[in-house]
Amino acid sequence: MAREFLESGGYTVIEARDGAEALKRVEKYEDAIDLLVTDMVMPGMTGQELSTRLLQSRPEIRVLYMSGYSETSRRGVCARRLLHAFTGETFSRWALLRAVHEILKQS
């Protein structure tokens, strides 16, 4: 659903089933990647582990975590990296596109 929402907003999406697949796809992708949209909890590695690994090779990537975690858990992650934002697991097309737009307009 998130892929469909993002593509309908004009964004190019590289979709992956899990963190390991995401790392492989990013490694092969030669163009710039502006944003990682990831869940906090995934098979094999967390969204935070994925973003840490991607930021080593592509430090310009911004990150949008999707999470059903409590506000307290969210604040702990946000405090560590200012470019992170959150949206709930259940979200509307408009809310996701607005969050992506807000993150991407930051310099």
Q: What is the pTM of this model?
A: 0.79
Q: How much is the pLDDT for 29?
A: 95
CA 29, 32, 34 angle in degrees (round to 5)?
A: 115
Q: How much is the pLDDT for 82?
A: 35
Q: Say if residue 49's pLDDT is above 70.
A: yes
- CATH, residue 34: 3.40.50.2300
Domain that holds residue 60: 2-105
**Per-residue CA distances from 88 to 35, 38, 53, 68 (Å):** 17, 12, 24, 6
Q: How many domains does the chain have?
A: 1
Position with higher pLDDT, 11 vs 88:
11
Read off the pLDDT of residues 18-39 as tens digits, 9 standing for 90 and up: 999 999 999 999 999 999 998 8
Instruction: Select from 77, 68, 90 the least CA-distant residue to 50.
Output: 77
Tokens standing for 73? 């858990």
Q: How much is the pLDDT for 9?
A: 94
